Amino acid sequence: MSRIAQTDDLTDVQRDILAAVRTFVDKEILPFATELEHADEYPESIVESMKEMGLFGITIPEQYGGLGESLLTYALVVEEIARGWMSVAGVVNTHFIVAYLIGRHGSAEQRSRLLPRMATGELRGAFSMSEPGCGSDVAAITSRADRKAGGGRNGEGEGDGDVYVLNGQKMWLTNGARAGIVATLVKTDEGAESVYRNMTTFLLEKEPGFGTHGGITIPGSIDKLGYKGIETTEMILTDHRVPAASILGGDDGRGQGFYQMMDGVEVGRVNVAARACGIMIRAFELAIAYAQTRRAFGRPIAEHQAIAFKLAEMATKVEAGHLMMVSAARKKDSGQRNDVEAGMAKYLASEYCHEVTTEAFRIHGGYGYSKEYEIERLYREAPFMLIGEGTSEIQKRIISRALLREYETAR
């Protein structure tokens, strides 16, 4: 058992879940991750095992077939999985966010119809907010849904209620091809003065796979520096017709899309912090093991002060990132908003992940540049943590704005 990145006050159930996941990671992920990553091959057998373990439904309430566990449990599971291979954690991340959004903001019909299939992993979720031209500026999205009276889904048949016709281009969909449901933020004309109240989230149901189906096109997978083995895609909407019932939360969800999505992003940032912790835990494990076996100038390099001090700094950063991630998850679980805590955790963990992985890479010397060594893969995966679910600069903006409000002085 590692000395660092331990979590106090866990229940017996949480400890059992984490022990099972750690064994799974050690036996079923770590031995195969680097080969699959270099081949950019989807981890089919790993995903099937995760379905059998119930990991796709870990936070979905028991009444819908899930395990009903907390965000903290989920984050610690993600940390363990990312320690094995960060891409596998990505398979469940957007799925988890969509399940969270449906559970928190969905209508009774949406919860009862979708969550049981999501709990088993039969129905997989993707999360779509970004677009090619807006990046972190969510208000600049141009994809939109126009409301029409009457009609059926995608033009098939006639319905009694209103329909929406969606057009636009979305970007950076993790699980974009394999997902059967995509929580998608678009602009709608709700007549509000604020642009943020003229956005609506739709639950777009589609056939898994690439190609065009009913006005939704998933053109192909985007080639990436790291984060391989899992598809990242665009999504093009061309006169895609859906009933008003596809709005997240039904009628109550009109114009609430931005706020719903931000709620999802808060838990997503805890997830990215957990993934960053998992990567740097593994980088530290590799570095300290290598430093004790690699010899230079007649002794293991771990006995040289320059390397020993690096290891001390790395372990401290791992511990700090882990503690902040746990704190942010626990605050969300308590029912409080955790925008600042999630932003801090994501910012610190992602920056430390990059630093720890870089130091582990340097400790390996020339061997770290070889694809035969696992650290080469981690070195390419770590940068994604700096931009996923909002860049470090965005996190600083969120944190500073909240602090300025909290500490506002009389003028």
Hey, which residues are catalytic here?
389
CA 320 – CA 182 distance, rounded (Å): 34
Dihedral sign (CA 181, 183, 189, 192):
positive
> What residue spans of 54-124 are helical by DSSP H?
71-84, 86-105, 108-120
How many angstroms separate the CA atoms of 286 and 273, rounded?
20
Give CA 104 to chain center in angstroms: 17
CA distances from 393 to 266, 340, 350, 396 (A): 16, 13, 12, 5
Count of residues in the chain:
411
Tokens found for residue 107: 């209508």
Q: Which residues contact 7 (CB under 8 A, 6 or more apart)?
A: 72, 76, 322, 326
The answer to whether residues 302 and 284 touch, using CB atoms and an 8 Å cutoff, is: no
Reduce the DSSP state of residue 399 to 3 states and report it. Answer: helix
What angle in degrees, to the nearest 10, is found between the helix axes of 257-293 and 374-387? Answer: 150
At which residue do the structure tokens 């992920």 appear?
Answer: 29
Q: How many CB atoms lie within 10 A of CB 46?
A: 22
Q: Using alpha carbons, select from 205, 201, 182, 227 the residue that is nearest to residue 91.
A: 227
What's the Cα-to-Cα distance from 194 to each of 105, 189, 200, 257, rounded to whole Å?
21, 11, 13, 13
In terms of Cβ atoms closer than 10 Å to its own Cβ (0-12, 13-18, 19+), residue 89 is buried
Asked whether the beta carbons of 177 and 210 are under 8 A apart, the reply is yes
Task: Note whether 188 and 248 are within 8 A (CB).
Answer: no
Asked if residues 101 and 147 have their Cβ atoms less than 8 Å apart, the reply is no
